[in-house]
Chains A and B, each alone.
Chain A
């Protein structure tokens, strides 16, 4: 059945290293969201794309985070350089327009 696929599921990296997270949205969905989940802040919207164009990335620390959609089947979220405070679960979700979003299983990032 259709689902959002995220890789890797888990990532442990050292502070200062570059981290790239990948997402394959559900085929046919034109909107892709990146969320970050922490115990303290809950689910935070980092950025989202519509038809591969970035619409809003105001939730993202601009100096170290970047999000792209090289094609309709791939969205990436990159952190460079990573810091311990970036440790969280990062979710990708896709949908059609601003209707219900369907989430992937997440990437659990630990920066040591």
Chain B
């Protein structure tokens, strides 16, 4: 099946730093989603992207739909302790198909 790769696998950052992570594939996707999973909870939808080049923000989070449609990026500005968790990307190849999830990026924020 289709695979998504997420980079980095994990990261440790200092509170206040900016964070960048990405999601890549060899296939072209028409929709990208970014989820965050807090420890012991289910994934929560953060941002949805529908068009190549689209840039969407949700508070301190900004996500972009890559121009090639094979990747997506998530940035977090001025990180805070509650940003800790696993960030998943999910891609949909075409309308009507199920989303494929990436393996996640585990973020730790040091005070």
Contact surface of A with B, Cβ cutoff 8 Å: 4, 33, 42-43, 45, 48, 56, 91, 93, 97-98, 100-106
The total of chain B residues at the interface (CB under 8 A) is 20
Interface readout for B97-111 with A: 1 if CB under 8 Å, 0 if not? 111011110000000
Q: How far is the CB of A43 from chain B (nearest CB, A)?
A: 4
- Nearest neighbor of A92 in chain B, beta-carbon distance: B42
Indicate if B48 sits at the interface (CB-CB under 8 A).
yes
Complexed CA–CA distance, A105 and B39 (Å): 10
> Which residues of the other chain, B, contact A42 by a CB distance below 8 angstroms?
101-104
- Decide yes or no: A100 and B45 within 8 Å by CB, A42-B103, A42-B104, A43-B88 being known contacts: yes
Interface centre among B40, B42, B97, by most chain A C-beta atoms within 10 angstroms, is B42
Per DSSP, are chain A's interface residues mostly helix, strand or loop, or mixed? Answer: strand
24 example contacts (A-B, Cβ-Cβ < 8 A) are as follows A4-B42, A33-B98, A42-B101, A42-B102, A42-B103, A42-B104, A43-B101, A56-B98, A91-B42, A91-B43, A98-B96, A98-B97, A98-B98, A98-B99, A100-B33, A100-B45, A102-B45, A103-B35, A103-B43, A105-B40, A105-B41, A105-B42, A106-B41, A106-B42
Asked whether A103 lies within 8 Å of B44 as measured between CB atoms, the reply is: yes
- Nearest neighbor of A44 in chain B, beta-carbon distance: B101
Per DSSP, are chain B's interface residues mostly helix, strand or loop, or mixed? Answer: loop
- Decide yes or no: A98 and B104 within 8 Å by CB, A103-B42, A103-B44, A104-B42 being known contacts: no
- Nearest neighbor of A33 in chain B, beta-carbon distance: B98
Complexed CA–CA distance, A101 and B41 (Å): 15
Complexed CA–CA distance, A51 and B48 (Å): 24
- Nearest neighbor of A31 in chain B, beta-carbon distance: B98
